[in-house]
């Protein structure tokens, strides 16, 4: 089943560590939230390069670009490339503090990916219509 209402709650837990709680409602916006609790870290001198524990692997993530006012961002573009057993898997995350990404920002995200030879072809939209969040259910 596809995830609806996908959300990542990224919280700093130390000067170079964070927790990241992934939630989604499988199948429909009204389904019970499914959650995965992850932890990660980054080097103090390279805060845009992170690793996150996902079970037996800790893939690297790069924050490629931020959009928003100084000191606070509204959107971010994150990339991960994981190699395992001679295979390569690429992941693109387009984060927004709201359920939608402005069309102009999405166009800039796509252009940034294209300018860096990163394909957008396999990116899938996450259904967000009808989504509500209740922190007590997470």
Q: Domain extents for the chain?
A: 1-56, 59-124
Contact 120, 113 (CB under 8 A): yes
Sign of CA dihedral 110, 101, 24, 13: positive
The per-residue pLDDT of the chain, averaged, comes to: 88
Distance CA 27, CA 10 (A): 24
CATH class of residue range 59-124: mainly beta
Residue 86 has what pLDDT? 80
Model's pTM, two decimal places? 0.85
pLDDT digits (tens, 9 = 90+) for 46-104: 989 999 887 777 788 999 999 997 778 999 999 998 877 788 888 999 999 888 899 99
């Amino acid at each position: 089943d596809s995830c609806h209402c996908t959300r990542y709650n990224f919280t700093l837990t130390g000067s170079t560590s964070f927790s990241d709680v992934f939630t989604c409602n499988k199948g429909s916006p009204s389904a019970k939230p499914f959650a995965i609790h992850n932890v990660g870290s980054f080097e103090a001198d390279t805060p845009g390069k992170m690793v996150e524990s996902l079970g037996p692997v800790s893939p690297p993530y790069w924050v490629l670009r931020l959009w928003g006012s100084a000191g606070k961002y509204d959107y971010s573009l994150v990339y991960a490339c994981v190699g395992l057993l001679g295979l390569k898997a690429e992941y693109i995350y387009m984060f927004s503090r709201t359920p939608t990404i402005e069309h102009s920002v999405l166009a800039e995200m796509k252009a940034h990916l294209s300018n860096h030879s990163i394909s957008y072809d396999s990116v899938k939209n996450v259904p967000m219509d009808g989504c509500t969040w209740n922190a007590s259910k997470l």
